[in-house]
Structure 1
């Protein structure tokens, strides 16, 4: 599982790496506001390969949660990202 640390803060690179390695699952946490990342990741990887990341205790999890909740994706995709995927993985 990885976030943008594998791509030095560049979500597009992280998505490209995940596209080439089918066993990589991305999480949503980031210390920056990354508008559109969730939509791009779902479009290119599918919601099944994205899990919610809170960045706690570094940051308040509210902004990470809102990144997913406000994303322009299906409600089913939001449910997968916000909990169903990690439950399946564990």
Structure 2
């Protein structure tokens, strides 16, 4: 007889700021913390081939914002589970 085993849920790992942006790509969900403490979240719309700059479509409805590596910001990639929870 078949016995149903529910899928295990992955525990979300604590997210840390990325030291470099080499693993970022278009459509990634990220949080950007500015040097003065403001946090923006959204989806990467366009990203330069050298990963030095990207355009963020902001979740707060404020349009697109250009984020540059040299602007003293920290970028954290948001995990898939957090995105699904935020959408619910």
What TM-score comes out, normalization by structure 1 length?
0.30
What TM-score comes out, normalization by structure 2 length?
0.30
Higher helix share: 1
Asked which structure has the greater RCO (Cα within 8 Å, sep 6+), the reply is 2
Which has more radius of gyration? 2
Higher strand share: 2
